[in-house]
Amino acid sequence: MQKQSISKIFFIIAALLIWLLKYTSCEITTSSKTNGTILNEKLMNDPGECVGNLTRRNHPSADPLGCYILNSSFHIDTLDGLSNLNFSDPYKDQDGNLMDPGLCIIHCADYLFKFAALTNGNKCRCGNNTGLDAYTKLTDESSINKTCNFKCVGNSSYICGGKDGYTIYDALKSISSYSAPTIDINKKLEIIHNLTKNVRYKGCYKDSPYCNQRLLNGTSEEVSGMTIESCLTYCWQRNFTYMGLEVGSQCFCNNDYNSLTSLSVEDCSSSCEGNNSEICGGPLAVSIYNASNYGSVNNDPVPSGLSKGTIVGLIVGGTVVGIAIFVLIIWHCFVGECGHFSH
């Protein structure tokens, strides 16, 4: 009777240890911890990334300020923020068919402008606090309908100004999920102009708006707190050659990319959410870096092909297996089936 009771106890302990092995190991190996950010692998065909056949886009959470026209009595155009930075003015997406309020608002807000102005259905301009000084807001419904009547080429459910009209948004308040950079514009421009000093930096490239056709389509992750270092580590641990950052919080990996899709440096406009002193791509624009041997160069002890989480899982799993085997041996002896030592 005593042997049976002891046998049951050891059997329960062994079963519990095996259960811990199964679930603890699996939980650890499905994620990795990089610079304080938990990164769970998410493949590009995740349904949450797609709306129809298009990737997820940003939509304004506030109505436009109104429909405006340039006041002919002014001799200067005060919506000249981009040209004052020596950037393309107006801003247009490279495909020519993607412009919508979200694309324009983020581009202007990334450069700390107060106003985002859409015109002609496909053009975006930006202005600082005095950006509307040379413009008059239309109040007559008939005039508004005749002046701001062009549907946005990137989303026909929105109006993007007209031939001479501007649909204007408050750039810093119109997308609720957006956080403006905490650095000033001079610091941001300095960071952008110094990007090429990083030997891993390959440039700014156009991303595809279509699901499963992203420029870096190997695997991806989107998290708050994204930095260049966390994305490099994420892709390197998964044996990818290149990593790309987009719109401040998205990280993509792959082993090759189309270098013919190069953009101007200004198109990668988004500060990294985890470090505003770094650039993490832009809306439909990818900052690409070489991730090869990143961990080795940076003294990361994780060997190629194994994530930190995987190694911890193997260590914990191996320890649990050893304990389980030891318990089973002891149980075997208690039931009288182990060998006897001779003196």
Q: Identify the domain boundary among 170, 194, 219.
A: 170
Residue 126 contacts residue 116 (beta carbons within 8 Å): yes
User: Is the residue at 193 inside a domain?
Assistant: yes
Query: Which pair of structure tokens corresponds to residue 260?
Result: 């013919």
The predicted-structure confidence for 117-149, as pLDDT tens digits, reads as follows 999 999 999 999 999 999 999 999 999 999 999
- Number of domains making up the chain: 2
Residues 135 and 210 occupy one common structural domain? no
Q: How confident is the model over 44-97, as pLDDT tens digits?
A: 334 345 666 667 678 899 999 999 999 988 889 999 999 999 999 999 987 788
Determine, yes or no, domain membership for 199.
yes
Are residues 193 and 47 part of one domain?
Answer: yes
Residue 158 has pLDDT above 90, yes or no: yes
314: in domain: no
One domain for residues 225 and 139: no
Task: Give the up-direction half-sphere exposure of residue 327: CA atoms within 13 A in the CB hemisphere.
Answer: 19
CB atoms within 10 A of CB 295: 17
120 shares its domain with 204: no
Domain that holds residue 150: 59-170
Average of pLDDT values for 253-271?
90
Q: Are residues 156 and 204 in the same domain?
A: no
255 inside domain? yes
Digit-coded pLDDT (tens) for 226-247: 999 999 999 999 999 999 999 8
Are residues 185 and 239 both part of a single domain? yes
151 & 216 share domain: no
Q: Which residues contact 66 (CB under 8 A, 6 or more apart)?
A: 137, 138, 144, 167, 168
Q: Are strands 165-170 and 115-119 parallel, antiparallel or unpaired?
A: antiparallel
